[in-house]
Chains A and B, each alone.
Chain A
């Protein structure tokens, strides 16, 4: 599986947008970019995923660079409930792909 690189931690203020970056310079053409988050004392939770085009859902937006070597998870208005560890993970489009977690980014949201 191709590797991803994320900052260890980020801080944001409540009700402000948050941009969480992820670098994946060795991404292959068949890799989907997945984002999960893990709230304190809970299991990971799926957030969003995409292949080439930017994606939006009720939780967040995913902006994918044109060369696909990086992506950004965007939380439009951070809330205290968004404080979590965010994981950026690559998964191959073909069968047999497993979810491999890195260290993730610890997001702190200040009131």
Chain B
């Protein structure tokens, strides 16, 4: 199994540009989420989804959109990139939101906005 696959691994954007970070999982996990990690800090939740067609906001949702049309994919869209969005982005999935299940993380997308 590939697990959680994120693309691209690196990206440089100019301020105001838009882009989509891709996340795909092949484990039939219902729960998927996006985190950002700024240098020297812990992870903060951006958006999450408990199943296809259902999304909700996390701690820091402003400037980002998500959709979940399939179980496998959960793309994160930056509408108009800003330097404050320079960060490493991680996608994570879990079989369920119940606490008995662990999360699987992708390897991350390192985004720089200039």
Binding site for B on A (CB under 8 A): 30-32, 34, 36, 42-46, 49, 51, 87, 90-104
Contact = CB atoms under 8 A, between A and B. Distances in A.
B98 interface: yes
Interface in B57-79: 58
A99 B33 contact: yes
A49 B101 CA distance: 9
Contacts of A90: 99
The binding surface of chain A is classed by DSSP as loop
Contacts, number: 65
A100 B45 contact: yes
A92 B108 CA distance: 26
Most buried by A among B58, B97, B106: B97
Given A44-B43, A87-B42, A103-B42, A97 B97 contact: yes
Contact of A96 (B33, B90, B97): B97
B102 A49 contact: yes
Given A43-B90, A43-B108, A94-B98, A99 B42 contact: no
A32 B99 contact: yes
Nearest to A48: B102
A101 B43 contact: yes
Contacts of A87: 42
B42 A101 contact: yes
B79 to A, nearest CB: 23
11 contacts: A34-B99, A46-B102, A46-B104, A49-B100, A95-B96, A95-B97, A96-B97, A98-B33, A101-B42, A101-B44, A102-B42
